[in-house]
Amino acid sequence: MSKKTIAKRDPSTLPRHVAVVMDGNGRWAQRRFLPRSSGHKFGVDALKKIVRHCAEIGVKHLTVFAFSSENWARPAEEVQTLMDLFVKALQRESAEL
């Protein structure tokens, strides 16, 4: 949605709360013959765009479901990669939050 389109939009028609379920990033990478960790990194980049867009259009609440209890059963290296990405993203973006 372009900024021009957003500006014309009636604010009462925008959602107040948006939920994002981060699922499929590893599979996305595998289909492209990339390591699963690359998919998770692309997912972080995509989430950053979503967060900014929601802020620009006036979404008041954003929920992100990024790690389920089942994810602990993944290989330890993948879990560590996900935790590292989470910590780095929070450190990098905390000034803007």
Tokens representing residue 92 in the block: 């990098």
Does 10 qualify as catalytic in the annotation? Answer: no
Q: Please pick, among 10, 45, 71, 84, the residue that the annotation labels catalytic.
A: 71
What is the DSSP secondary-structure string of the chain? Answer: --HHHHHHS-GGGS-SEEEEE--SHHHHHHHTT--HHHHHHHHHHHHHHHHHHHHHHT--EEEEE---GGGGGS-HHHHHHHHHHHHHHHHHHTTT-
**Any catalytic annotation for residue 23?**
yes
Which residue in 10, 23, 25, 45 is the catalytic one? 23
Residues annotated as part of the active site: 23, 71
